Amino acid sequence: MLGEGVIKGMAETAKNFFQSYFKSDRMTTVCYPEARIPTMHAARTFPFLVYDGEDKLAGLRCTSCQICEKECPPKCIFIEKSTDKKPDFTGRPQFYPVRFEIDISVCMSCQICTEVCPFESIKMDSVFELSTDDRFGGLLLKRDDLSKPNSYYHQIHPDEAAAVDAGLAEEKAKAEAKAAAAAAAAAAKATAAATQPAAGAGA
């Protein structure tokens, strides 16, 4: 019947109007910035550097190998390697980046830097409120701004961070086992060498 669709449509919109006042599924607007929708767990915007422990510089995983700088497609990473070495989280002396800068007006969030990093030190962040009124300097993030603790990484990407930590722990265990085996082998060789001359002297 002509006109039926109009009546049904107007009834539906009237229902929408009145129920938007007290039903949450009819009013889905979130009043940003007073309230925010939580970001999804795989959201990514720009990279950040992970450091273990409390000290930003001492725990920084980045060894300034510059692979990410070479692999970055729009060339938005600028690294200056140090001339001295500092011990990293496991105690081994490593190079460290004196300057590590990312130009986020150029970065296209392709996460190639994350994929090629051998040290699990650069990961994707999910902050988006990076607006500034300084078009050039304000959009160039420096090393100290980019360094965030591992606990923060667990917060934003918990599954990824847990997998990374498990991988690092495994490598560390393997390295320690190898070192222990090497030490045991060296100790065995030393004791064998010590007993051999005594036997030779006795005969």
Partner 1 sequence: MQENLDQIFVLLKHWIVSLVPAPVQPYLSVLLSVAAIVVTFPLLFAISVWLERKILARIQNRLGPNRVGPFGLLQPIADAIKSLTKEDIVPRTADAVVHYLAPLVLVVVAFMGFAIIPMGRNMVLVDLDASLLFYFAMGASAEVAVFMAGWSSRNKYSLLGAMRAIAQMISYEVVLLLSSVTVVMMTGSLRLTRIVELQNQYSWGLPHWFIFTPWGLAAFVMYAIAGTAETNRSPFDLPEGESELVAGYHTEYSGFKFALFFLGEYLAMLSISSLGTTLFLGGWSAPFAFLGWVPSWIWFFSKVMLSICVFIWMRGTLPRLRQDQLMNFAWKFVLPLSLVNLIVAGLWRFMGEGWQRWVVTSAILIASYAALALAEQRQRRIGPRRYRYAE
197 phi/psi in degrees, rounded to 5:
-60, -35
Least CB distance from residue 129 to partner 1, whole Å?
A: 18
Least CB distance from residue 40 to partner 1, whole Å?
A: 21
86 binds partner 1 (CB under 8 A): no
36 binds partner 1 (CB under 8 A): no
Q: Which candidate, 66, 72, 140, places its Cα nearest to that of 101? A: 140
Tell me the C-alpha distance between 80 and 66, whole Å.
9
Helices (H) and strands (E) in the chain, counts: 6, 8
Least CB distance from residue 8 to partner 1, whole Å?
A: 10
Site string for partner 1, 4-33 (x = CB under 8 A): --x--xx-xxx-xx--xx----xxxx-x--
145 binds partner 1 (CB under 8 A): no
Looking at beta carbons only, is 29 or 131 nearer to partner 1? 29
Please give the angle made by the CA atoms of 139, 119 and 70, to the nearest 5 degrees. Answer: 55
**163-182: contacts with partner 1 (CB under 8 A):** none
SS3 content of the chain, % helix, strand, coil (to 5): 40, 15, 45
Least CB distance from residue 29 to partner 1, whole Å?
A: 5
Q: How many CB atoms lie within 10 A of CB 1?
A: 5
Number of residues that bind partner 1 (CB under 8 A): 18
Looking at beta carbons only, is 25 or 84 nearer to partner 1? 25
Token pair of 120 as six digits: 């699990």
Looking at beta carbons only, is 3 or 202 nearer to partner 1? 3
Least CB distance from residue 128 to partner 1, whole Å?
A: 21
**CB burial readout 133-170, b (16+ within 10 A) else e:** eeeeeebbbebeebbbbbebbeebbeebbeebeeebee
Least CB distance from residue 132 to partner 1, whole Å?
A: 23
Residues engaged in binding partner 1 (CB under 8 A): 1-3, 6, 9-10, 12-14, 16-17, 20-21, 26-29, 31
